Structure formats: structure tokens, C-alpha cells
């Protein structure tokens, strides 16, 4: 390992800007300080891979509205509760008497819904390719068990289109640390067309510090080459998890999706198929987006245009205790990670 | 939110499994992959996404030979 570490420390070739797309990688890198041992010629940039951070205002507003509707209960992962829409978060809705339940897995919605059949339970279905199969499973099980009071408010997104957007609209990235757990489902080959189109290496990486270092080494070595490498073969295969892909396909289809900071990206989302519309809770056309604090630069942070510390509010007005944008709320958000780990 | 953790399957019950995360037993959905007790699996949001394979070592060292020669 030291050999790779040394190489990365002493690297003196062409400057390398590497984007870690996934929020879990941002968290792992910030936590173990990998960025601080790299040569100044290698710069790590955080990307748009925190599902909560890229969720637009209109989606949060719709969740708040549902939570405050009599007879409705919003069910969510904890990350989303503190994110503010145009004026309120789900936590605010709760304080106003709205119904919000936090769960560890979407599957818990089945028990909740079965216990209170007179209420409608709406799961806040955010996430990427990794989480989509879990929502498919929830619907499968609800249909099997005849549970009729479950709905989804979807804001599901897919990685290749947004990476494509970053390459085409922003550029300046010399390598991608491809999202490991997304790749478990999609397979590592999904990144090959992008690698070849832009002549940029993609390396699918695990999350341990040694795995990340190896992947960075591979990216630097492959600079300028359109290669897609899988350095997480213990769980990632070239083709991914076929069963999971099929179950996602059964319930969902590609759609255009709005991303914070990037606007509408064609084909970058997943929505319920027409034959399963009975499960939808009004997810269509939730595109409007604006930052809760007008000075918040989340939009630029998410695309790697600026680093979190370049936001004038960072650490002054905006801290994890009083977050001004989603990137400081989510524990996978770049601003949160840079703040708690003092990452430069 | 794409966090996934490895654990060991201790029991399989139809489409569900008991997974041991360093002493904590958790029930997880097992519909997406074929599993058996003793398997190490990757769990995300209460759902088993994949079985950890033992091939890793070999395939990484092969890839690295290729990278080194660049
Ligand atoms: S530091 Fe806060 S205000 Fe600035 S971009 Fe990040 S979340 Fe937004």
C-alpha cells in the first residue's frame, strides 16, 4: 500500500482533478483525511451524489403539504427531515401537527400501513440506482399482501446522465471515482460509454481508505484514457445485479428529472410506470427550485464548480447546527463533510 | 444515503434473512440475490444487494498488472 500512497503523495505530473461522485465517498475521504495526503497536483472534488442534496425545493414542499394533509402520513429516511423547502422542512411540518415517521428501511412502511388502514402512508422515495430496487420491492410486497394505503412520492435519479451533464456542461474533470454501491446494481460497464466519449478514466471503488487510495492511483495512471475499471469486484460485477434491474424496470421507467443546481436533465430520473400510477402521490412536474437562503451556493458546490469553503456563508452563517442549504444538512453533503472534518 | 454495510447471514426465512453486523442481528430482505447461511452480504436500506465474492484478490492483482504497465 505504501507504494501507492507514496506515488500519490509525490506525484508531479499533469494536474489531476478527480471527482468523487458519491456522497458516501465524500464522507469516507473527508473522514479519513485522504485529500490531505495527496500531492498538490491531485485535487479531489465532491460531486452530485448525495440524493438529499440534489432534491429540489418543489419536492420538499410537496412532502410538507402531504404531511399536513389530514389522513396522510409521510414516511422517510432521517436524512430528509431537516431539509427546508421554500419555507418549511418535514420537521417543521411535524411541529405544526403534520404526520411524519422516520424509518430505517422503506419496507417498514408495510407494517405501518397495515396497522392503520384508514390512513395513507406516503414514502419519500429519494435515491439513486442503489435504492430504487428497495422501492420496487416495497411495491411488490404491498401488492402481494393486498395493502392498498401505500404511495410513493418519487424523486429517483440515475448517475450516468448527471455525470454526462457535468462533463458536457462543466468539464475540467480528469477522472471519476465512480459510485460503488450504485455500481453494485448497475454494473461497472455502465460507465464505459462515458469514459470513452470523454476520454476520462472511471474507476469503481470501494469505501475503505486502502480501496480509495488504490482507485485514485489507478485514475492518475490512466489519465487521458477512456477506461472503465472495476476495483470493487467483491460486490460489483460488469453487468450488476440483474434481478434488481428487472424489478426496477417492472415498476419504474426513465423520465426527465430536476436536479438542484443543474436544472432538468433529460432521462436522468425514474418514475412509476403508467400501470402503477395508483401508487403515485403527485410526483410529476415537481421541478421548481430555489435555495432557502439566496446566498447559498449549494448549486455550484454540487457540480464541483466551487468547493464548499468558497461559499461566503460556510462556517459563518451556515453550520450543521443552522444549515442554510441541503449540502450542510445531509451527513453525506459536501458542506457538512468539509465542515465536520475541517477538510480544505 | 447509498451507504451499504457488510454482514453475515445467519438464517434464511423465505424472502427474509437474519444478518449479523458484528453482533447485532438485523432482519433484511433477501429477494434480490440467492443467499445461504454463512454468506457475507452487502445490505442497503434493509435489503441485501449482493453476496461478497472471494474472487476479489485475484481480479484486482490482475488489473494492477495492467495498470502498472501503463
Ligand atoms: S455552506 Fe451552506 S449556504 Fe453555503 S453552499 Fe453549503 S449548504 Fe449552502
**How does pLDDT run across A63-118, given as a tens digit for each residue?**
999 999 999 999 999 889 988 888 899 999 999 999 999 998 999 999 999 999 99
- Percent of residues in chain A assigned helix, strand, coil, to nearest 5: 40, 20, 40
Chain A contact set for B60 (CB, 8 A): 214, 231, 233
- Say what the pLDDT of residue A176 is: 97
Which A-chain residues 9-38 have CB contacts (< 8 A) with chain B?
Answer: 22-24
Predicted pLDDT of residue A305: 86
Residue in chain B nearest A330 by alpha carbon = B1
Report the pLDDT averaged over residues A224-231.
Answer: 94
Q: Which tens digit of pLDDT belongs to each residue from A259-311? A: 988 889 999 999 999 999 999 998 888 888 876 678 888 888 988 889 999 99
Give whole-number Cα distances, A6 to A2, A9, A23, A32, in Å. 6, 5, 26, 17
- pLDDT for the residue numbered A250: 98
The number of the ligand 1 atom at minimal distance from the alpha carbon of A314 is 1
- A1-293 has which fold? Rossmann fold (3.40.50)
Q: Do A204 and A227 form a contact (C-beta atoms < 8 A)?
A: no
Q: What are the residue ranges of helices labelled H in chain A? A: 2-10, 23-32, 34-37, 57-67, 90-95, 108-115, 132-145, 159-169, 180-186, 192-198, 209-221, 242-251, 298-302, 326-329, 334-340
Question: What is the residue-averaged pLDDT of chain B?
Answer: 87
The mean of the pLDDT values for chain A is 92
The answer to whether A127 faces chain B, any CB pair under 8 Å, is yes
Cite the residue boundaries of each domain of chain A with CATH code 3.40.50.11740. Answer: 1-293
Q: What percent of chain A has pLDDT over 70?
A: 99
Q: Give the H/E segment covering residue A49.
A: strand A42-49
pLDDT, tens digit, 9 for 90 and up, residues A8-50: 999 999 999 999 998 889 889 988 889 889 999 999 998 888 8
Residue B61 pLDDT class (50, 70, 90 cuts): confident
Task: Using the mean position of ligand 1's atoms as its centre, give its distance from the Cα of residue A59 in Å.
Answer: 19
Range of the domain at B15: 5-68
Shortest Cα distance from A24 to chain B (angstroms)?
Answer: 6
Nearest Cβ partner for B42 among A51, A231, A235: A235
Counting from 1 in the atom list of ligand 1, the atom nearest the Cα of A328 is: 7
Residue A129 DSSP label: T
The CA–CA distances, whole Å, from A306 to A45, A54, A163, A311, A343 equal: 9, 16, 17, 8, 14
pLDDT at A288: 83
Tell me the average pLDDT across A254-262.
91
Q: How many structural domains compose chain B? A: 1
Distance from CA of A54 to the nearest CA of B (A): 12
Confidence check: pLDDT of A1 > 60: no
Q: Which of B63, B13, B14 is nearest to A219 (CA)?
A: B63
Distance CA A256, CA A315 (A): 34
pLDDT at residue number A283? 86
Residue B57: band (very low, low, confident or very high) from pLDDT cuts 50, 70, 90: low
Query: b/e per residue, B15-37, with b = 16+ CB within 10 A?
Result: ebbbbeeeeeeeebbbbbbebee
Beta-carbon contacts of A210 under 8 Å, excluding residues fewer than 6 positions away, are A1
State pLDDT tens for residues A112-164: 999 999 999 999 999 999 999 999 999 999 999 999 999 999 999 999 999 99
pLDDT for residue A254 is more than 70: yes
- Give me the CATH number covering residue B61: 2.30.30.140
A43 three-state secondary structure: strand
Place of cell 410506470: A273
pTM of the model: 0.93
Amino acid at each position: 500500500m505504501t507504494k501507492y500512497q507514496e506515488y500519490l503523495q509525490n506525484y508531479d505530473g499533469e494536474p489531476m482533478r478527480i471527482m468523487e461522485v458519491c456522497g458516501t465517498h465524500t464522507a469516507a475521504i473527508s473522514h479519513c483525511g485522504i485529500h490531505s495526503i495527496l500531492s498538490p497536483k491531485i485535487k479531489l472534488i465532491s460531486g452530485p451524489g448525495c440524493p438529499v442534496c440534489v432534491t429540489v425545493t418543489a419536492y420538499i414542499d410537496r412532502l410538507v403539504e402531504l404531511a399536513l394533509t389530514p389522513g396522510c402520513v409521510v414516511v422517510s429516511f432521517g436524512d430528509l427531515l431537516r431539509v427546508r423547502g421554500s419555507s418549511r422542512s418535514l420537521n417543521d411540518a411535524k411541529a405544526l401537527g403534520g404526520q411524519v415517521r422516520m424509518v430505517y428501511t422503506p419496507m417498514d412502511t408495510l407494517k405501518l400501513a397495515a396497522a392503520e388502514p384508514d390512513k395513507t402512508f406516503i414514502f419519500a422515495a429519494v435515491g439513486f440506482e442503489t435504492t430504487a430496487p428497495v422501492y420496487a420491492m416495497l411495491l411488490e410486497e404491498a401488492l402481494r399482501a393486498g395493502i392498498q394505503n401505500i404511495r410513493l412520492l418519487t424523486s429517483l435519479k440515475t448517475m450516468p446522465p448527471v455525470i454526462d451533464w457535468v462533463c458536457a456542461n462543466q468539464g475540467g474533470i480528469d477522472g471519476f471515482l465512480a459510485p460503488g454501491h450504485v455500481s453494485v446494481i448497475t454494473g461497472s460497464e455502465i460507465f464505459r460509454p462515458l469514459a470513452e466519449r470523454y476520454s476520462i478514466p472511471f474507476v469503481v471503488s470501494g469505501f475503505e481508505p486502502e480501496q480509495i487510495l488504490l482507485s485514485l492511483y489507478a485514475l492518475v495512471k490512466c489519465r487521458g484514457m477512456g477506461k472503465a475499471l472495476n476495483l470493487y469486484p467483491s460486490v460489483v460485477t460488469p453487468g450488476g445485479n440483474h434481478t434488481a434491474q428487472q424489478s426496477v424496470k417492472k415498476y419504474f421507467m426513465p423520465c426527465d428529472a430536476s436536479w438542484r443546481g443543474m436544472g432538468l436533465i433529460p432521462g436522468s430520473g425514474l418514475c412509476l410506470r403508467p400501470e402503477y400510477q395508483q401508487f403515485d402521490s403527485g410526483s410529476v412536474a415537481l421541478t421548481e427550485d430555489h435555495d432557502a437562503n439566496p446566498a447559498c451556493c449549494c448549486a455550484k458546490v454540487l457540480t464541483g464548480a466551487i468547493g464548499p469553503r468558497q461559499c461566503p456563508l460556510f462556517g459563518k452563517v451556515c453550520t450543521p447546527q443552522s444549515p442554510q442549504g441541503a449540502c450542510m444538512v445531509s451527513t453525506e453533503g459536501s458542506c457538512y463533510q468539509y465542515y465536520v472534518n475541517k477538510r480544505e | 444515503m447509498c451507504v451499504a454495510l457488510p454482514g453475515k447471514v445467519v438464517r434464511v426465512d423465505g424472502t427474509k434473512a437474519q444478518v449479523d453486523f458484528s453482533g447485532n442481528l438485523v432482519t433484511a430482505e433477501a429477494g434480490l440475490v440467492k443467499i445461504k447461511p454463512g454468506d457475507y452480504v452487502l445490505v442497503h436500506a434493509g435489503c441485501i444487494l449482493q453476496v461478497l465474492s472471494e474472487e476479489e484478490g485475484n481480479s484486482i492483482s490482475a488489473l494492477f498488472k495492467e495498470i502498472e504497465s501503463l
